[in-house]
């Protein structure tokens, strides 16, 4: 059986204000996924004092692709991105155990984070 990888843009060209969050508007269906790579790309202001965090949330019922991420929900996986002056990208392996997932980016810094993208690359069989 052949393996395939289909890249999906989950967050596209967003600006996230200091101390704010942005959650992907649509979910990703991980049915049949055996692995998942998540990549962040964004541009940090030179005077920011902190980085960012990407968290992955799942639908607790595994039946609702339009689920909402609540303020008290806990992620099933996450990665931290340290700040730099300029554009930074970072890939990481995430758990591929849930059916529907969404991604939330938190700007931990004191300046806006611009041109934010989150890409998901599930490997399926």
Using one digit for the tens of pLDDT, what is the confidence trace for 69-105?
998 999 999 999 999 999 999 999 999 999 999 999 9
- For residue 56, name the pLDDT band (cuts at 50, 70, 90): very high
- For residue 124, name the pLDDT band (cuts at 50, 70, 90): very high
User: What residues make up the domain containing 21?
Assistant: 4-124
Is the pLDDT assigned to residue 1 strictly greater than 70?
Answer: no
CB contact at 8 A, 101 and 56: yes
Give the SS3 label for residue 36. strand
Using one digit for the tens of pLDDT, what is the confidence trace for 15-46?
999 999 999 999 999 999 999 999 999 999 99
Sign of the CA dihedral with 98 first, then 116, 17, and 78 last: positive
CATH of the domain at 37: 2.60.120.380
Using one digit for the tens of pLDDT, what is the confidence trace for 58-70?
999 999 999 999 9
**What total of structural domains would you count in the chain?**
1
Give 49's DSSP letter: -
Verdict on whether the full-model pTM lies above 0.85: yes
């Amino acid at each position: 059986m052949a393996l395939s990888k289909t890249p999906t843009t989950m967050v596209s060209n967003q600006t996230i204000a200091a101390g704010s969050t942005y959650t992907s508007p649509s979910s990703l269906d991980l049915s049949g996924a055996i692995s998942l790579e998540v990549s962040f790309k964004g541009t940090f202001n030179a005077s920011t004092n902190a980085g960012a965090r990407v968290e992955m949330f799942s639908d607790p019922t595994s039946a609702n692709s339009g689920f909402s991420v609540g303020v008290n929900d806990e992620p099933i996986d996450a990665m931290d991105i340290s700040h730099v002056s300029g554009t930074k990208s970072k890939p990481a392996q995430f758990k591929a155990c849930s059916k529907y997932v969404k991604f939330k980016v938190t700007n931990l810094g004191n300046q806006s984070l611009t041109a934010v993208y989150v890409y998901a690359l599930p490997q399926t069989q």
